[in-house]
Amino acid sequence: MRHFVTPAILLLCTLTACAQQSSPIPTDGNPTHYDLSTYPKVRDKISKTNAEWRAILPPEAYDVLRAAGTEEPFTGPLLNNHEQGIYVCAACGNPLFSSATKFESGTGWPSFWAPIEPDRIIQRTDNTFGMERTEVLCARCGSHLGHVFDDGPKPTGLRYCMNSVALRFERK
């Protein structure tokens, strides 16, 4: 009996390995291969004063993007958006996430398992509210977007928990 079980386990391991190799994140780090050449470059940084941001952003977006606020769960307009396209920073237009990595987390906030390109975002430790979390910011304008947690789905196991008002959706 053992003679037959062992090849079965080996086959299972081989299949699992194959599944991991076909990860939807290619080596260039862009899960969808959307052409981002027409979008702002991360190196073209945006820097504005709080007064300047306040003048151009809606109050609810300012509170999240520039004051690290969190929108009420299940209130954001992009939570149940299932169209194909790109989610850009609501403050500066930097492409952040693809619809291809959006998933239903049940948390009440739009959730993604990977950024559209790794260098489009910045991650830093956030110790506010007595919790140790990892804050996610726009790498171009420094705006607060949300947090990332390690309880997401495959292939990354990450959950980028974003505020709807920090994002703007562009249909593709």
Task: Give the footprint of Zn ion on this chain (CB under 5 A).
Answer: 89, 91-92, 94, 138, 140-141, 143
Residue 155 preceded by cis peptide, ω within 30: yes
Our CB check for Zn ion shows the closer of 114 and 141 to be: 141
Shortest spacing between CB 25 and Zn ion, in angstroms: 22
Q: Which residue has the tokens 């489009």?
A: 120
Shortest spacing between CB 99 and Zn ion, in angstroms: 19
Beta strand 144-149 with 133-138 is antiparallel
Shortest spacing between CB 85 and Zn ion, in angstroms: 17
Alpha helices in 22-159 (DSSP H): 50-56, 59-65
Shortest spacing between CB 93 and Zn ion, in angstroms: 7
Our CB check for Zn ion shows the closer of 89 and 162 to be: 89
SS3 101: helix
Q: In residues, how long is the chain?
A: 172
- CB–CB of 64/165 below 8 Å? yes
Known active-site residue 92: no
Tell me the residue type at 96: L
- CB–CB of 49/98 below 8 Å? no
Our CB check for Zn ion shows the closer of 26 and 58 to be: 58
Our CB check for Zn ion shows the closer of 100 and 139 to be: 139
Active-site residue set: 161
